[in-house]
Chain A
Amino acid sequence: MSESASWNWDTGEKLVANINDWKKKFIDLRELTPSDDGEKIAAVVQPEKGKFTTCLTGDVWEEKFERVYSLKFKPDNQLISLTYRDYVYALAVDHEMWEETFDFIWNLTLTQDGKGIAVNIKRDPQLGAALNGQVWENLYIDARHLAVSPDGTKTASCIQIQPMKTLDIFTYQKGIWTVAVDGTPWEKKFWSIWGPVFSPDSNHVAACVRTGFAQYNIAVDGNTWEGPFGLVWEPIFKPNTNDVVAPIRTPKGTTLAMNGKPIWGYFFNAWRQIFSPDGQKLAAVVVPSFSRWTIAVDGTPWSTTFSDAVLSPVFSLNSKRVAAVVKDSKRWAVAVDGNPWTEKFDNVWDPIFSPDSNTVVAKAERNGKFYIVVDGKVSKKGYESLWNPVFSPDGKNLLLRCVDNGKYYRKVIPINEL
């Protein structure tokens, strides 16, 4: 978020692109993607039959492809796309193509600073990953899920390391899946493996593993906790440490465990755990009574529960408050520290805290229009399209990236004028 300090925070609005014109100009205009700072907007377009390219704030890239997909902006506003032409796939950063080409690429993944750009790759018949144009030396029968280390120097993916004949149930039961880091597989193999995540120092990887019929565990660098457990959900690392926290299911219920030891009480279910920015608090989605969802902070559930769903908790920057998207009786809202907004919506996006942690905003959908909701109060104006708002570093203004009457605007609006 620190890069937002360099953005233009003068209040006012700027018409960045007339999307109506784009619609007239191209056979097909695909999903719009704005840059983080809102200054640019891009989309995959079809300027001539069966030929695709990118349109960046009105400028159409001359190079044409048979496919262009997974459009994404880096924080520095460079535009990444995955392309296919003349039977090869390649990654393009702005108009520069990676030299390496592939038989397929997917799972475009960036580090937070955008310096690490990774994809899963296929080189018939083998699969693996590539980071900043560098391809793994070893490729495998399958490679799924992709994690990039926080420092942007490593990739990890779940791989099938041994071949298996059709319907060979017994080879699978010997364990033919593991994680490969930069192409080097862990020594230990498992029945199934998913949810790989790097440690904050980029030196370790944790993942969920299946070790037998109804047997699950967490593996860190290939070594499992003392287990097995009835089921596990995706692990996370504690900030600035190598401690791993994951939900484990035991005969008593589901709890959170750190390095294999239970640290919370037991629930019907628990998942989507997250540490506060200072690393001192832990929040997760929990099911304290049958079919009732809520958030627990350090093991204590909110007293308010919800019938349909609760999404991942979000901490305030001062680590003191927690908000989450909640769904009750088919209507969506945000709950902050256990108190749900009274206004309900057809859809709500993840809540965002102001830099001083006092205000919570979220994008919400009602009757096909999109609104900004500030501490439960709905903005006067609704938009055709709206992306997640961003707080100015002083917390006084909000950056809106929105489409109104077919035109894409970058707006900076004082929070009390919404």
Chain B
Amino acid sequence: MAEASVKESTKTEDWVKLNRKPVADPGFDETVKNLTTEKIEKAVNAVLNIGKNGARFMAPLETCIHCALCSNACHWYLSHDKDPTYAPVAKVKMTLWELIKRKGKVSPEFMKQVARIVFCECNLCRRCSMYCPFGLDIAFQLGMVRRMCFILGLVPQNILDQTHSLSATLTQLWITQGDWIDTMQWQEEEVRGEIKNVRIPIDKEGAEVMWCPLGTEPKVATYHIARTAKIMNVAGIDWTVAAQDGWDSANMGMFIRDMETMQRVVRGIYDNAMRLKIKRIVLTE
């Protein structure tokens, strides 16, 4: 199977086109139509220029001895019958090494394959680093490639939409400020039917704990809020939720390497914590 997969690969231009089941995703398929080699070159070099100064980025490139010990760490490799094209170091070779070798001068089609590899064939779980005798951080490198793709907008639609939402609203699912507060209020009313005088304190200064749910909870899983309220009340915890943006702890920006949105999400939570003088931040998950 492993051999077959390599054989099935066809050379296009000067690179190996992987023979995989297509993933239909407008984040790849539509975005790629507007890319040019020039745009890609700019994005790749913007990231490489920062990366080349960092040991964490360069060390794996300079130190890796291609021993493949990391392969057995990777669930993608294992679950694809040890197909070597899913091996951690192969994924670096097919993406970052090629981009460095070609100084970012690659075709949009090549970049689309790169995006597929780094977003759809690696979870940045870092398990491979544990197996590597040098502890080389492959996930960090593939993450840097995700950053290149992000700058080009070449990102799976769903997670990009959620990051757009976080950028615009600091919530994962386009939740209005009013709907968030209203949801906390009616959840309190719901739970009051079961537990006398239960409270979901909103913006309570000096509370011990500020709870930051994921946007999915007020949007589609309000029963999580009710359960959290019950636990907090029965356990006698002095808690609150923040009324201002910066309550949603979903941080999709981290996964697609939208560092700026990632930082804004984290800062939003800390700003609320410092504004409300709470002592501990409790996140869902």
Contact = CB atoms under 8 A, between A and B. Distances in A.
A268 to B, nearest CB: 12
Contact of B258 (A69, A214, A349): A214
A106 B181 contact: yes
Contact of A28 (B158, B197, B279): B197
Nearest to B30: A170
Nearest to A107: B177
A311 interface: yes
Give the one of B151, B153, B168, B169 with max A CB within 10 A.
B168
Contacts of B206: 347, 365
Contacts of B182: 104
B277 A172 contact: no
A213 B167 contact: no
A252 B44 CA distance: 19
Determine chain A's interface SS by DSSP, over half rule. Answer: strand
Nearest to B50: A251
Interface in B201-238: 201-202, 204-206
A191 B177 contact: no
A208 to B, nearest CB: 9
Contact of A349 (B245, B259, B263, B277): B277
A216 B260 contact: yes
Interface in B1-51: 26-27, 30
Contacts of B26: 169-170
A115 interface: no
A407 interface: no
12 contacts: A69-B181, A69-B202, A104-B181, A106-B177, A144-B177, A167-B158, A172-B161, A172-B164, A192-B167, A192-B168, A214-B150, A347-B206
Interface in B82-108: none
Contacts of A31: 201, 204-205
A347 B277 contact: yes
Interface string A1-39: 000000000000000000000000001101100000000
Interface string A192-236: 111000000000000000100110100000000000001100000
B164 A169 contact: yes
A169 B277 contact: no
A346 interface: yes
Contacts of B132: none
Given A104-B181, A311-B274, 10 more contacts: A50-B189, A107-B177, A122-B176, A160-B168, A169-B153, A169-B157, A172-B161, A192-B168, A214-B260, A216-B260
Given A106-B181, A106-B243, A142 B151 contact: no
Contacts of A145: 245
B185 interface: yes
Contacts of B199: 28, 30
* Interface bracket on B: 35 or more
A291 interface: no
A173 interface: yes
B126 interface: no
Contacts of A50: 189, 192
**Among all A-B residue pairs, the 9 with the closest Cβ atoms:** A104-B178, A192-B167, A192-B168, A172-B164, A167-B161, A231-B260, A122-B178, A169-B160, A213-B151
Contacts of B179: 104
Interface of B: 26-27, 30, 150-153, 157-158, 160-161, 164, 167-169, 174, 176-179, 181-182, 185, 189, 192, 197, 199, 201-202, 204-206, 243, 245, 258-260, 263, 270, 274, 277, 279
A169 B27 CA distance: 8
Interface in A123-155: 127, 142-145
A67 interface: yes
A84 B168 CA distance: 28
A219 B259 CA distance: 21
A346 B160 contact: no
B181 A347 contact: no
B185 A67 contact: yes
Interface string A162-175: 00000111101100
Contact of B157 (A84, A167, A193, A311): A167
Contacts of B185: 67, 69, 84
A321 B157 CA distance: 51
Contacts of A192: 167-168
A309 interface: yes
A69 B181 CA distance: 10
B192 A120 contact: no
Nearest to A166: B161
A31 B160 CA distance: 40
A371 interface: no
A275 interface: no
Contacts of B169: 142, 144
